[in-house]
Amino acid sequence: MLKRSVFDKIDSVNCQVLGFNPVGALQNVRVWRRYIFVLTVTSALCWMVLGWESTWNQAFTYVKSVPWLLMGQTSFIEVHNQASTFYGLGQHLSTPFIYGVCFLLLSLHLEKHRIVRSMNFFFSTALSVFSVGVYEIIYNVLYSNLQNQPWTFTFAGKQGLNLAVFTFFIVVGCVALVYLYSLKFKLNFSRVTLLLLVLSVVTYGCWVFFPFPIDSFTVQTTAGPWTNTALFPQTMYAVNLDPMAGCSAAIGTPYFVENNLLHLVNVLNKLFVSLTVLSFVMVTKRGVMVEA
């Protein structure tokens, strides 16, 4: 039995406000798993239908155009053409699919180890965003240094807010791990975790030192022409067109450079990094033997 905690108190709350339990959403993690499952499957289907490098912006264009389609104020061809302008620009649909699968697997694992209800919701969420934070901080460090875009790892302006959020995700995840350790849970240092870590490092290496041809890409900025480098190439470059204004005023203008093989490396890297973190936080009670 886990000792009584703030989560036990949350789970015992049964107050009603206008017929609604204000903490009910925290208690019912199984409903959250259904929502995440639906979003994950939807992301996978949209990814398959809309294309290999399809994005949320692309998919959302179809969604927000439904009323106008029903009223006959636009045509599907027009919507399709508008949506296509977002292909490769923004958050790829592979991202919610990967993180959604990891959340579901982690939540089910924690439930198996008697971490249920609000405690399950908190730890599944905290450790999932921990994975996001780890991945995004590493990505921004690499992109900032290897593609000569220092604004992407500067705690100032709009990007500073993004970095603060990613850092907060990591802090929340660390707090969750410390709390779990206090409850006599241990992290998973199995051979599977080690293998996934090796695969993560390998895919980072393949991405940084991409062994196949890439397109040279140049844009004009206020500091002169900027050209992508061969290290850590991208299919979407976020370029600060006004570097003379300073990093605090930087806004990344997205440019899509299609490369399906490079995107495959990107997807595999995010998958292996996410699975590495997932395997690492698949906690068990100390003193309980777990097969690798």
For 20, list phi and psi in degrees, rounded to 5: -125, 130
- Residue 128 in contact with residue 104, Cβ under 8 Å? no
On the question of pLDDT at 258 being above 90, the answer is yes
Q: Which of 100, 111, 115 is nearest to 37 (CA)?
A: 100
CA dihedral 279, 282, 284, 290 (to 10 degrees): -30
Decide if 149 contacts 182 (C-beta within 8 A): no
Instruction: Spell out the domain ranges in the chain.
Output: 6-53+88-285
**pLDDT band with cut points at 50, 70 and 90 for residue 15:** confident
32-41 tens-digit pLDDT: 999 999 999 9
Q: In this structure, what token pair is assigned to residue 137? A: 């901080």
d(CA 161, CA 159): 5
pLDDT at 20: 67
Rounded to the nearest 5°, which phi and psi values hold at 10? -60, -45
Does residue 289 come out as left (phi exceeding 0), alpha (psi in the -120 to 50 range) or beta? beta
> Quick one: pLDDT at residue 157?
84
| Sign, Cα dihedral of 240, 243, 247, 248 | negative
Check: CB of residue 244 under 8 Å from CB of residue 223: yes
Half-sphere exposure of 89 (CA within 13 A, CB side): 17
- What is the pLDDT, as a whole number, of residue 36? 96
In degrees, rounded to 5, the angle at the alpha carbon of residue 91 between the alpha carbons of residues 85 and 97 is 120
Helices marked H in 113-227: 117-146, 157-182, 191-208
Average pLDDT on 239-262 reads 91
The predicted structure's pLDDT at residue 17: 72
Instruction: Give the angle 245-151-218 at the CA atoms, nearest 5°.
Output: 85
pTM summary value: 0.92
pLDDT band at 119 (very low <50, low <70, confident <90, very high): very high
Structure tokens at 56: 């949320």
